[in-house]
Amino acid sequence: MTLCPLPGEGGGAMLRRLGAVLRKNQATIVKLDIFGALRARPGILRALKQELGRIDWPTTWIEGEDCAGGRIAGMHVLAIHGTAVEAIQLGQRRVGSVFSDGSARHCFLGDLCADDVSQPPAEQCWQTYLDLEAALRIAGMDMSNLVRTWLFLDNILAWYDQFNQVRSKFYRQRRVLDHLVPASTGVGARNPAGAALMLGAWAVQSVNGSVAASEVASPRQCPAPTYGSCFSRAVELITPNHRHLLISGTASIEPGGRSAHHGDIDKQVDLTMQVVQGILESRGMSFRDVSRMTAYFKRSPDASAFSAWCAKHGATSLPVVITRSDVCRDELLFELEMDAVAALTK
């Protein structure tokens, strides 16, 4: 579910809407990602406890204010019904949930960051990847099961090159490059812990070979490792009944890997949307199949360019959180990530 405040709606009312949907569907939250001002966090968490009781799932809070001026941009909620959920704990922290859908075991992780935030960013990053590996181990998985990561870097432009070096080194040591390199999003945003990196992830372990994950290339962009970023443009997860397409954070980058349309938000949005549309169409999908989307803007007023593009192209009902976050290159003003789901054609 993607939940955004309605006009004039406060956080409490928004969470009451969430509670009503969960109760109607007898659903249990597996993972919750909230984009909002850090100053709004205490009040929202109190309201969440009042509505749903104990917060017994990984909750990742990312500073990402509403581009329209509100304190909360929105939240992505993963909830399930009809199967048990196992908790993943690292120390006293709930960082993950594991469940089986009969075809695969799914491990969703969130709120992963280094305990010692006084360490340099690169050292915090390495520790966070060690924690990711430890959490996967508790779930009976390893790095080869990863299909998706979300990476929120505080002050991203100051150490993004170091981050890429750490991630690449960790992936090489764990032989991730010999298997599927996960799809990923990497944007700049602060977090409540004051950590250099906040990480979320999705790992999948097939049961009897009935689920398969594979890399999907972008028809309009080169592979990200070409310029030193270790992620797949997209990953497709095929289950007995559905195809899930996980599209990485995508920005205005030309086929050779260089940034395009410096300073022009309209052209950056248009190119980005053409790129993700190309990935969707390569798998027989369209924007009608999108199940979750996050639009990141470096400058809040630029969000109108995305709304205008969607209106022009008849894509006005997307499940999207629109938020303010920095992008990995100073000249890039917009980044988009999305998931899409389609029935498997027999």
Task: Judge if 34 and 93 occupy the same domain.
Answer: no
SS (H, E, C) 258-287: CECCCCCHHHHHHHHHHHHHHHHHHCCCCH
Task: Judge if 15 and 47 occupy the same domain.
Answer: yes
Mean pLDDT of 329-346: 93
For the chain, what is the largest distance between any 2 Cα atoms, rounded to a whole number of angstroms?
54
pLDDT in tens, 107-141: 999 999 999 999 999 999 999 999 999 999 999 99
19 found inside a domain: yes
- Which of the pair, 222 or 184, is modelled with greater confidence? 184
Question: Of 22, 49, 82, which residue sits at a domain end?
Answer: 82
144 found inside a domain: yes
217 found inside a domain: no
Task: Look at residues 135, 223, 139 and name the one whose alpha carbon lies nearest to residue 177.
Answer: 223
Question: How many C-beta atoms lie closer than 10 Å to residue 39's C-beta?
Answer: 10
- Count how many domains the chain has: 3
Task: Judge if 203 and 107 occupy the same domain.
Answer: yes
Task: Judge if 281 and 180 occupy the same domain.
Answer: no
Q: Quick check: helix, strand or coil at residue 299?
A: coil
Task: Judge if 287 and 318 occupy the same domain.
Answer: yes
234 found inside a domain: no
Task: Look at residues 65, 151, 74, 78 and name the one whose alpha carbon lies nearest to residue 318.
Answer: 74
Task: Judge if 93 and 199 occupy the same domain.
Answer: yes
Helix (H) or strand (E) holding 309: helix 303-312
In the prediction, which pLDDT does 226 show?
Answer: 80
Task: Judge if 162 and 180 occupy the same domain.
Answer: yes
pTM for this prediction: 0.96
Q: Quick check: helix, strand or coil at residue 219?
A: coil
CATH number at residue 38: 3.30.1330.40
Task: Judge if 143 and 172 occupy the same domain.
Answer: yes
In the prediction, which pLDDT does 346 show?
Answer: 61
CA 59 to CA 156: how far, in whole Å? 22
Cβ neighbours for 303, distance < 8 A, ≥ 6 positions apart: 67, 68, 295, 297, 322
Task: Judge if 323 and 278 occupy the same domain.
Answer: yes
Domain that holds residue 277: 242-346
Residue type, 99: F
CA 148 to CA 201: how far, in whole Å? 6
Task: Judge if 206 and 103 occupy the same domain.
Answer: yes
Work out the pLDDT band at 224, boundaries 50, 70, 90: confident
SS (H, E, C) 12-26: HHHHHHHHHHHHHCC
Task: Judge if 256 and 337 occupy the same domain.
Answer: yes
Q: Judge contact between 187 and 153, C-beta under 8 A.
A: yes
Work out the pLDDT band at 65, boundaries 50, 70, 90: confident
237 found inside a domain: no
232 found inside a domain: no
Question: Of 82, 99, 132, which residue sits at a domain end?
Answer: 82
In the prediction, which pLDDT does 233 show?
Answer: 96
224 found inside a domain: no
Task: Judge if 15 and 130 occupy the same domain.
Answer: no
pLDDT in tens, 247-299: 999 999 999 889 999 999 999 999 999 999 999 999 999 999 999 999 999 99
285 found inside a domain: yes
Residue 51, both tokens: 């509505």
Residue 22, both tokens: 């969960």
Question: Of 20, 55, 82, which residue sits at a domain end?
Answer: 82
